[in-house]
Structure 1
């Protein structure tokens, strides 16, 4: 037995009470308690992850999606959007926020022009290309992901000096991302289960993408704090997995049995089946909506770096940008939910109403500019774009014959993506000439108002005369 300790007077000290820090038994238990806490935390994380995977799998495989192969497309889309989010975070950290606005404007404008103009030239060719080579859809989708994986690996090595190779790789990422949207849209009708409509299937795809971004963005941000090259390598891994999933899509994605081409012109139907007027009108509305979204994405990215005094924001600029982007994401999610609730009720009217709403909010925000109206504008853009696209899907399923539906999706998605690029180019042009925020918003509002007038006029002219 050990000798009990004593105090300065030579008297023996009483033993420490059980459970006190100086109790030998407690001291021995402390490492075990820490290990136990870590183990419990690890088990909680693993359990939460397993629960999330099970719930996600239930979501992607429900309503016959597992049997039809749509679930594989949903999983593929999750990796695609997660990778795109990681690339966007990486490029934002290297291009938009590394230099003062005056020094970065010319470089960023050049970067955006170089990345968008080639797609504006290539986009009209993608739809006809898919019509000609319909048997390679899996490989076409996989190629858009594989190209981005390669470009991300190149970007990770070139991000430090931002050489010409950096811009070429960024161009490859953007063009491949837009091309993916077109090729994926053409594959959806081939994988549609009997229990789901096109609207519900595309709503599920949109929600899957939103969830993937919510999970991936924090991981990409954490990697970007170490260095932009690490978030790009993370994106590389995501795109590689997506490429494998694309190749493993069901073989019927490549089948063109019973398919014909669609003609979006109103001249004649000699090149294919003529698209219904209601679908063409909905496509025009969506073109206007995507032009607004493309413009706001680029123009407001510049503006919100250093918010003008007219916006009345006195806090951190990054926080304001996060609020506006968050509002746009929330609007997109609400639009998907509303689209599911409304189902197929008067989609030809909804698509016009959302274009009117988007234009109205754009005009209001330009006249009453503030950080609050900027958030409302983001919310409106996300909501209207989502509802407009779902209404277009409903019209395609209702009015377009099944034999040309795949071709219709490829052509319509091409036009929608091109409209986004044109809107982005307008945003670049207005910012580089140093137009004020109000002038820029008013200019685009005037353009969209003119487009709305054209859409309504064409709609009235196409309407049958009243019976008298």
Structure 2
């Protein structure tokens, strides 16, 4: 204190001494230390959670003898496949659907479907016979379907901005190779079954693995798409490259065709016909997939701008997420119930789910409110899952081992083609500007006619031809 400055009051002899140079107030230092401890703890927690999730997934894929049989490798491969498909769906949805007005979006999606799904509708029946030529090279056939998608996704990433002709050609390549993957993977499953597994149990585990992988990959793809749509496609390309490597590393027994024979889509083999239950199951699943394809396209546009009659006053995106989430819950429930259903007369289950699908569709057409739309999504997801697993159970039970793999591949081709037809129906009805209830009534009439045909053939099957004549 200077000599002329008056002294301060007692206890306040002047300003507090400054902190030594380089020091900070204790409260700032405490906050920084607390933030550092929190970040380190969060990092350790995330790392431990990631390791636990990875180890849990490994235990799941390898349990029940799947590790020894090689099924675990197919599960890992399928996880990367569905993760990549989810990323492609996120990118294309953001490009074709959510970023433009509804009228323009419908035109773009219509063009997309015409240039991609129509050629596939012609190609799909030829996929199964063509892939029969790779019966001793299934690993390379599966890997090729993934490698083609990796290349096409990289091309799409460069063409997605201006949507040039290469955009549609690459999208067609992604679609065809994705459907071909389903067929080729189906032919590999019977060769990798553990001793205690049925075909239904194996496919249930494959479906669960794919659902989990898609659920993890979709948010990552959304984050990549936030940077730019090409980045989601590049992310998908990387996933497909990894899947290609995993496909080549599948066990060699996948390529074995010892004791197998070919069978046509009706199940005939040298004049021998498979059980009528399998044929009925194929017909029922075709109807289920047609409805799924229709709702995927038609309801996506309808829920983008929900009509006032639905009674939804909130955000349209939330409603769409709610309905899609209900469908996902139904699909998961179907997978869980599927193991039980296989021992409970699957030939009846597969007919019952088609009846249930049609009934709920009629109800939704008559009372088109948002809770009914969610119920429809739940029902369609449940019925498609149960129908497919029941079909698998019937193929496992009734189809001779030497033709089972070929029959399974043909069934996958039929189901993929049915979805394409349903998608084309959905875009066609939306393009002519019919209301959602009317569109569902039209689809319900088509499915009612199909259901009548399926039930009539199930109750009064035609006489089996005598191959000797």
Specify the SS of the correspondent of 2:460. helix
In the alignment, is the contact (CA less than 8 A) between 1:191 and 1:253 conserved in 2? Answer: yes
CA distance in 2 between partners of 1:8 and 1:340 (Å): 87
Moved more, 126-135 or 430-439: 126-135
Q: 1:389-408 residue pairs with structure 2 within 5 A?
A: 389-408=388-407
1:274 and 2:273 equivalent? Answer: yes
Indicate the residue corresponding to 1:447 in structure 2.
446
Indicate the residue corresponding to 2:359 in structure 1.
360
Indicate the residue corresponding to 1:296 in structure 2.
295
CA distance in 2 between partners of 1:9 and 1:229 (Å): 71
Instruction: Quote the offset at 1:462 in angstroms.
Output: 2.1
CA distance in 1 between partners of 2:427 and 2:28 (Å): 65
Instruction: Quote the offset at 1:27 in angstroms.
Output: 4.5
In the alignment, is the contact (CA less than 8 A) between 2:341 and 2:349 conserved in 1? Answer: no
Specify the SS of the correspondent of 1:263. coil
1:289–1:35 CA distance, 2 compared to 1 (3 A) = same
Instruction: Quote the offset at 1:37 in angstroms.
Output: 2.1
Moved more, 240-249 or 169-178: 169-178
Moved more, 173-182 or 71-80: 173-182
The structure 1 segments of at least 4 consecutive aligned residues displaced by more than 4 Å after TM superposition are 6-10, 13-16, 22-30
Instruction: Quote the offset at 1:112 in angstroms.
Output: 1.4
Indicate the residue corresponding to 2:384 in structure 1.
385
Indicate the residue corresponding to 1:317 in structure 2.
316
CA distance in 2 between partners of 1:414 and 1:143 (Å): 17
For normalisation by structure 1, the TM-score amounts to 0.93
In the alignment, is the contact (CA less than 8 A) between 1:263 and 1:275 conserved in 2? Answer: no
Indicate the residue corresponding to 1:89 in structure 2.
90
Specify the SS of the correspondent of 2:83. helix
RMSD (Å) for aligned C-alpha atoms: 2.1
Specify the SS of the correspondent of 1:135. coil
1:405–1:314 CA distance, 2 compared to 1 (3 A) = same
For normalisation by structure 2, the TM-score amounts to 0.92
1:423 and 2:422 equivalent? Answer: yes
In the alignment, is the contact (CA less than 8 A) between 2:127 and 2:413 conserved in 1? Answer: yes
Indicate the residue corresponding to 1:165 in structure 2.
166
Total equivalences in the alignment: 453
Deviations 1:173-210 (A, max 9, x none): 11111111111111100111111111110000110011
CA distance in 2 between partners of 1:7 and 1:90 (Å): 74
CA distance in 1 between partners of 2:291 and 2:160 (Å): 30
Indicate the residue corresponding to 1:214 in structure 2.
215
1:7–1:166 CA distance, 2 compared to 1 (3 A) = farther
CA distance in 2 between partners of 1:365 and 1:399 (Å): 36
1:152 and 2:158 equivalent? Answer: no
CA distance in 2 between partners of 1:9 and 1:116 (Å): 89
Indicate the residue corresponding to 1:3 in structure 2.
none
Specify the SS of the correspondent of 2:304. coil
Indicate the residue corresponding to 1:192 in structure 2.
193
Instruction: Quote the offset at 1:313 in angstroms.
Output: 1.6
Indicate the residue corresponding to 2:3 in structure 1.
none
Note the residue ranges of structure 1 that are not aligned, 5 or more in a row: 1-5, 17-21
Instruction: Quote the offset at 1:12 in angstroms.
Output: 3.5
Q: 1:368-379 residue pairs with structure 2 within 5 A?
A: 368-379=367-378
Note the residue ranges of structure 2 that are not aligned, 5 or more in a row: 1-5, 18-22, 464-469
CA distance in 1 between partners of 2:58 and 2:423 (Å): 36
Specify the SS of the correspondent of 2:136. helix
1:132 and 2:138 equivalent? Answer: no
Instruction: Quote the offset at 1:49 in angstroms.
Output: 0.1
CA distance in 1 between partners of 2:123 and 2:140 (Å): 19
CA distance in 1 between partners of 2:341 and 2:414 (Å): 25
